[in-house]
Amino acid sequence: MRSDSARTAATTRTALISPALRAMADEVCGTFARLFAYVGALALIAMLGVAAWNRLDNGSDDTVPAKAGWTVADGAVPAFSLRLTDQPDRTATYTVLTHQAGGRKDVLRWGERAERPVAEIEVYRIGPERDGMRNPIGQLAARMGRPAPELEAAGIIDSRFGPVSLLRPAGAPDGPGACLGFLKTIAVPAVRISGWSCQGVAVQTRRAAVGCMLNRLALLPAPGHEAALTELFAQAEPRRADCDVQGVAKTLNDWISALDNPKLRGTY
């Protein structure tokens, strides 16, 4: 049997070692906790830096902000032209956005950079990217940048490209400064024409202005155009209506329908 002195010595050593082990364990745990906190702080700073850089990068072009996957093609050759004779004192900007999957957006805007745009038209040649299948009405509402978060049906016009759906901010009063959006998706070729106009003090004037924008949209000759796009504009040419110098259709009752608020259904 062990003597009392041996047991006493062992107990004393155990009593001395246990606090040391606990202190070491606490120190190790504290070190790891501080290390994780430090790494987490660095990750947070990195995320904030990336977010700030993206904000600055997106803000470099005040005309058309580029979305995820889209880049501004600075050297791209314009594919379309459109002249608004009732906006001689406004600056027209032309921006081309390209998607890494193959889509292309040609965007024309009228209005000074420091002012609210008075009109826009976008020709989106849809590629394999998913943007072509997502909510086009929501995208148009975001582009219009109006206080109303939703758009409601505002009638249909019969353009040279066929019936075109009109939309307006839900609940917005109709008067000076009001805007009217439009949306038209064509299956072959896969093209979506959309935009808006804030021209005129009455809804009929804005409807006619939208019709004239579609009427005056022209495809510029270029070797890179696909045959289906060229054929689309060639077939639409005989249906071109006439507009006077103020941008109002002369044959208003002939090519702008009187449908008030049809239900939103189908593909736009």
Round to whole Å and give the CA distance between 253 and 53: 51
**pLDDT, mean of residues 156-169:** 92
For residue 200, what pLDDT is reported? 79
For residue 218, what pLDDT is reported? 92
In the block, residue with structure tokens 């008030």: 260
By percentage, how much of the chain surpasses pLDDT 70? 62
**pLDDT, mean of residues 193-212:** 89
**pLDDT, mean of residues 194-223:** 88
Q: Convert the pLDDT of each residue in 7-20 to its tens digit.
A: 555 555 555 556 66
Q: Convert the pLDDT of each residue in 79-137 to its tens digit.
A: 999 877 555 556 678 999 999 888 999 999 987 666 677 899 999 999 888 766 678 88
- Mean pLDDT value across the chain: 74
Q: Is 52 exposed, middle or buried (0-12, 13-18, 19+ CB in 10 A)?
A: exposed
Highest mean pLDDT among 76-90, 131-145, 184-198: 184-198
**pLDDT, mean of residues 13-32:** 64
For residue 8, what pLDDT is reported? 53
For residue 150, what pLDDT is reported? 85
Q: Are 101 and 127 in contact (CB under 8 A)?
A: yes
Q: Convert the pLDDT of each residue in 220-246 to its tens digit.
A: 987 777 899 999 999 999 888 767 534
Query: Sheet harboring 180-186: ordered strands across?
Result: 70-72, 92-99, 104-110, 119-125, 191-197, 180-186, 162-169, 151-159
Is the per-residue pLDDT at 1 higher than 50? no
Contacts of 96 (CB under 8 A, 6+ apart): 72, 73, 76, 78, 79, 104, 105, 106, 107
